[in-house]
Amino acid sequence: MNPSIAIEKLAVRLGQRDVLRDITFAARPGELVAVLGPNGSGKSTLIRSLIGLVPLARGQVRIAGAAPGACAAGAIGYVPQIKSMDRTFPAQAIELVASVQRNAWPGRLDAARRDWSLKALRRVGAEHLADRQVSELSGGELQRVYLARALATDVQVLILDEPETGIDAAGTSDLYALLESYCSEQQGTVLLVTHDWDAAMHHASKVLLLKQTQISFGTPAVALAEEHVRAAFGHVGHAHGVTGA
Amino acid sequence: MMEALAYPFFQRALLAAVLVGATASYLGVFVVQRRLSFLGAGLAHAAFGGVALGLLLGTEPLWVALPFTVFVAVAINWIRRHTRLAGDTAVGVFFAVAVAMGLVFLSLRRSVNVDAFTYLFGSVLAVGPTDLLLGGATALLAVATLPRLWGRWAYATFDPDAARADRLPVDRDDYLLFVLMAVAVVVSVKMVGIILMAAFLVIPAACSRLVTQRFVMMTGLAVLIGVISSVAGLFLAFEADLPSGATIVLVQAAAFFGCALLGMRRGS
């Protein structure tokens, strides 16, 4: 089975600074890959380079069968960090979902488009949020709406940037259940940046540990072995105690 | 009121008011929602530099102000994108430089600068066929953006990162928005005045934001408020013999306080 994400010797420079170098890994359909690392280790930059927001300095990247930024429309779903959006924007949740259909904000929601968007929200258990104002949604509710939007077009690869930010423990558990069901039922590939070691240990098929360069990649138990965690964080600390790796 | 409509100058001013009110309010929703309210004042003052240069050269000031202001709009957006400076800092720099250039150009002119005051404070009497033609063309340009660009501008306003990830040409679209704003400001200054131009971009959109819950409604209502306040203000200015631009802005201000009260009652 061909990998959905194949990265070889990826390097990214921002200005005069090497932000990432020597990243090589692959993720296959049905796999959930968690990207872990200390703050400033290049996790979000990796995601941004995969979706074509940041140019590569070196290396090869194939994602959903194409180079970054050249994938077929609807092949990649992206759930950004909630902080990048304007929470004061006058909008209903259903409009945010509908915006993915035409890659633009919807002016008019006709019956067909509304039904399509409701179906996407229903899929992630968020139909009841359809007519709520985006500004009134909690972090977890908003994340769920973004997820409905990202999954609405049968994407091959789903990329999430710190999806558990602002969500309580129950919400995080629901989120991972949705992601696991997407991986197993649709054979989709998930790549997510997270600080949640526990969730990575329990839900990820593979873990990529970063600190500007690739510290380790493999199953959670292998990638989060003590020597790798020490290399990334300088100490084993609380995180390793939690995971028990 | 009927008496006013008999005057050709008033007919021209009325048409200009509708065109300016609609176009500026349409673009104003992006100005307000992107927190770029200072940009309206910055572009209007950039237009002052261009108008002054046109007066110095003895040509139609609008033809000089147009490229001058478009250049400033593009430069502000470039600085916002490619340097560490925030948008308001870039606007602040060009605002001051354009005014300084305008004052220097006017001081080099060896005649009385009556024309300059027309542009500073606006005058319905000054609206001629060329202004109407430019206003109409700009309004048509704005209408032409509705099918494709409105939705992309709105999406990038809501979440620029998500829009970029969806491969929308956010940077190119932003330049188009800034250029259209610059053109709208230049064609409006003769009637509205440089000093009050920012109000046309900001107040109708701010009114609309106070009472609407969807961006499409915000856009439609802003245009409606922009047109109605411009027409009402123009008639009021004629009846009470008041300056047109200032009267329109005061009518817009009354609408703003009305919308603020309505918004508070609704709890929005």
Specify whether the CB–CB gap between B41 and B180 falls below 8 A: no
A4-13, B63-72, B118-127, range with the lowest pLDDT: B118-127
* Domain termination residue (choose one: A104, A120, A154): A154
Instruction: Give B220's contacts in chain A (Cβ within 8 Å).
Output: none
Q: What is the mean pLDDT of residues B98-108?
A: 91
Do residue A167 and residue A239 come from a single domain? yes
Q: Which residues contact B138 (CB under 8 A, 6 or more apart)?
A: B19, B23, B180, B183, B184, B187
Segment 184-213 of chain A within 8 Å of chain B by CB: none
A124 occurs within a structural domain: yes
| Helical ranges in A80-225 per DSSP H | 93-102, 111-123, 139-151, 169-186, 197-203, 220-223
A84 occurs within a structural domain: no
A105-114, B104-113, B140-149, B181-190, range with the lowest pLDDT: B104-113
Domain total in chain A: 2
CB contact under 8 A, B215 and A91: yes
Q: Which two tokens stand for residue B45?
A: 């003052």
Tell me which residues of chain A have a pLDDT lower than 70. Answer: 1, 73, 83, 236-245
Q: What is the largest CA-CA distance in chain B?
A: 58
CB contact under 8 A, A86 and B150: no
Rg, Å, chain B Cα set: 18
Do residue A172 and residue A142 come from a single domain? no
pTM over 0.80: yes
Domains delineated in chain B: 2-266 (1.10.3470.10)
Q: What is the mean pLDDT of residues B208-227?
A: 96
Do residue A52 and residue A116 come from a single domain? no
**Number of neighbouring beta carbons within 10 Å of residue A112:** 9
Count of CA atoms in the C-beta half-sphere (13 A) of B12? 17
Q: Is the ipTM of this complex over 0.85?
A: no
Do residue A16 and residue A118 come from a single domain? no
| DSSP collapsed to 3 states, B132-182 | HHHHHHHHHHHHHHCCCHHHHHHHHHHCHHHHHHCCCCHHHHHHHHHHHHH
Do residue A228 and residue A182 come from a single domain? yes
CB contact under 8 A, B165 and A92: no
Angle made by CA atoms A237, A179, A31, in degrees to the nearest 5: 80
A168 occurs within a structural domain: yes
Do residue A239 and residue A161 come from a single domain? yes
Q: What's the pLDDT at A98?
A: 93
CB contact under 8 A, A90 and B213: yes
Instruction: Give B157's contacts in chain A (Cβ within 8 Å).
Output: 86, 89
Q: Does A110 touch chain B (CB under 8 A)?
A: no
Q: What's the pLDDT at B109?
A: 81
Cα B121 to chain centroid, rounded:
14
A150 occurs within a structural domain: yes
* Domain termination residue (choose one: A154, A182, A202): A154
Which amino acid, one-letter code, is at B86? A
Range of the domain at A144: 91-154
Q: What's the pLDDT at A85?
A: 84
A209 occurs within a structural domain: yes
A99 occurs within a structural domain: yes
* Domain termination residue (choose one: A138, A154, A170): A154
Do residue A144 and residue A100 come from a single domain? yes
Specify whether the CB–CB gap between B44 and B202 falls below 8 A: no
